[in-house]
Amino acid sequence: MNCKHAAWLMSLRQDRPLKLGENLGLRLHLSYCPGCRAYRQQLDFLQRACRAFTPPESTEAPPSDTDTPSSR
């Protein structure tokens, strides 16, 4: 298995269970490929980040309870 295929499987496994052969091949590859281990870490992080995502507050005002000095 090469890195390109491993990267594909690491994405795929977030969407469907891998087949036995896919899983074994991926694990073997990861055991000797630091780049793909880092890729796995990054994808896992992405998934956590998405779950935690609330769009950031876009007000330019300081994050206090004071009213924004908007013109009304």
Q: Which residues bind another protein (CB under 8 A)?
A: 2-5, 7-8, 11-12, 14-16, 34-39, 41-43, 45-59, 61, 63, 65, 67-68, 70
Nearer to another protein, 11 or 23 (CB): 11
CB of 58 to another protein, least distance (A): 6
- In our burial notation (b when 16+ CB lie closer than 10 A, e otherwise), range 21-41 reads ebeebbeebbeebeebeebbe
Nearer to another protein, 20 or 70 (CB): 70
